[in-house]
Amino acid sequence: MTIDYVASMGNFAFRYVSHSDPVSIIQLMDEEEIDFALVSSLESIMYRNVQKGNELLAERISKHRDRLIPAAVINPIYPEAVEDTLCCLENLGMKAIRLYPNYHGYDPTDSGVASVVSVAQERTIPVSIAFRVEDERQRHWLVNPPPVSADTVLSLIKAFPEVHFVLERASYNELNRLIRSAPEVENWSAETSGRFLSDLRQILDAIGSDRVLLGTDMPLQYSKVAILRLESLDRASREKITMLNAARLLKL
Amino acid sequence: MIIDAHAHLFRDRDYNESFLSECRRAGIDKICAFLSGGVSTGKIEDEPNREALELRDAHPESVIAFARVDHAEGEKAVKQLEYCVEELNMRGLKLSFTVKATDPTLFPIVEKTAELKIPILFHAFMGRDTRPERDEKFPGESDAMEIVELARRFPEAMIIMAHFNLGDWEYGIKAVKSTPNIYPCTSGSGIDADSTEMAVREVGAERVIFGTDNSIYASLGKIYGAHISDRDRHLIFGENLLGLLTKRGPLS
């Protein structure tokens, strides 16, 4: 069994995405022998009211829940963020929360974030923090999201030791900053997608294969890259990264 | 056969050897290697071709040496290039972000490459005008449209435009589409899905060239993971570049 922890679905604001519906996402999964993918709404990254994107996602994948696991995109500083979170988890069957601090314009230490993460804590739901969506070098000329500070992410992680955080699309340098600043803090995982994850081996040496997840970032990026990055690893590590770690977090 | 058109070397023999070994492990048969632009502008007193020649002489079956020269040295640079190609069997020229493609001091060098029948691998950024931060970091960096201007001035020159995924790749592909002596290169860490497919569809697989820019798995993944025919993959991975490299004769 293989689980992709970082996938999305829908249309992206800045470019055409050729695999945007559930059937074509499942086709991409089949090509890489991925059994399950944790998907969230691409539209919610740019929508002001992210909840509409969550609802749209739940509707789109309703007939494909045997392969696609929904994650909620929450904007913690928008009105009714806690209510939307509860709705996603309790009514729409979502299994994880995904935050985009720089696209939604807040700091991970803002009080609204704590309110949403508290909901996750009560229900033992994992929380993802996306360090970026697109590479900053290819940003749209109208949008220049500021970098997500690894230090503020670390503050949030430390404030909620019972919550497990997944740091998505983080660079080697960003992950390394967390590792060097607080090696004792272990309630977070890295994942394998992203153009900036140049040295997976060093991340594995630092945090171990129990804290790395397969993430392909399909359909925005070529999923084959993440798969190739794992090829040279030993079987036990691959099994944890591609299956066991995600299964544990998502309670599969 | 897989040939990497874009392999940076450094003044660190261990790194250079280990990069070559990693390429071999990943299934890359040959690399076009040159001293990185960040190490030297290419001026003769720096011995900018030493590392490429050393690695080529140690591994002649795997390494194709590309020359570096400094355009600011004028006629000396042209003579140096001629010497590198005719006497040392270097088979290409690397130009970096130290000189704009539209700078007239570059023209004699480009003219010489056409006469010697060797390709130029030229660093470029896609859509620079809308990203003022590039001017601060790399004032001499060329935009894809400036590469087009150069290629149209010298239609006999063979210009491999490095990393068409650096910046706005849709801009980059559209920019070079109608200029047949520009060969967009897939090198670099950019792994946006659909980019390889668009290059093949718009420019034609016969003009797309594989390279890594030292991002081995990202670069392989976007070719293996692209929805293109096996024939197109074969052309991109090596056949196209081999055609350019052997314009002056067999590789030896």
Inter-residue contact B221 to B193 (CB < 8 Å): no
Superfamily of domain A3-250: Metal-dependent hydrolases (3.20.20.140)
pLDDT band at A198; cut points 50, 70, 90? low
- Asked if pLDDT for residue A214 goes beyond 70, the answer is yes
**Pick among B18, B192, B219 to test the A interface (most A CBs inside 10 A):** B192
| pLDDT given for residue A131 in this prediction | 96
From chain B residues 207-226, the ones with a CB under 8 A of any chain A CB are 215, 217-218, 220-222, 224-226
Return the DSSP state at A201: H
Which of A41-50, A57-66, A84-93, B125-134 has the least mean pLDDT?
A: B125-134
The model's pLDDT over A130-172, given as tens digits with 9 standing for 90+, comes to 999 998 898 899 999 999 999 999 999 999 999 999 999 999 8
Domain locations in chain B as residue ranges: 3-245
As a whole-number percent, the residues of chain A with pLDDT over 90 amount to 91
Q: Looking at chain B, which residue has its C-alpha nearest residue A16?
A: B194
* CB-closest option in B167, B170, B217 to A15: B170
Helix, strand or coil for residue A140? coil
**CATH superfamily of domain region B3-245:** Metal-dependent hydrolases (3.20.20.140)
Which of B18, B21, B194 is the best residue to mutate to test the A interface, defined by the most A CB atoms within 10 Å of its own CB? B194
Distance from CA of B49 to the nearest CA of A (A): 27
- Stretches where chain B sits below pLDDT 50 are none
- Rounded CA-CA distance B40/B216 in Å is 23
Domain boundaries, chain A: 3-250
* pLDDT tens, residue by residue, B5-40: 999 999 999 999 999 999 999 999 999 999 998 888
Residue B218 pLDDT: 94
Q: Cβ-count burial of A145 within 10 angstroms (0-12 exposed, 13-18 middle, 19+ buried)?
A: middle
Q: Which of A19, A196, A226 sits opposite B189 (nearest CB)?
A: A196
Q: How many CB pairs under 8 A join A and B?
A: 73
pLDDT score of A195 more than 80: no
User: Residue A197 pLDDT more than 90?
Assistant: no
> pLDDT class for A232, splitting at 50, 70, 90?
confident
- Structure confidence at residue B167 (pLDDT): 95
pLDDT for B37:
86
- Which of B191, B222, B223 to substitute to test the interface with A, most A CBs within 10 Å? B191
* Number of alpha helices (DSSP H) and beta strands (DSSP E) in chain B: 11, 7
Q: Name the minimum distance, in Å, from the CA of A251 to any CA of chain B.
A: 30
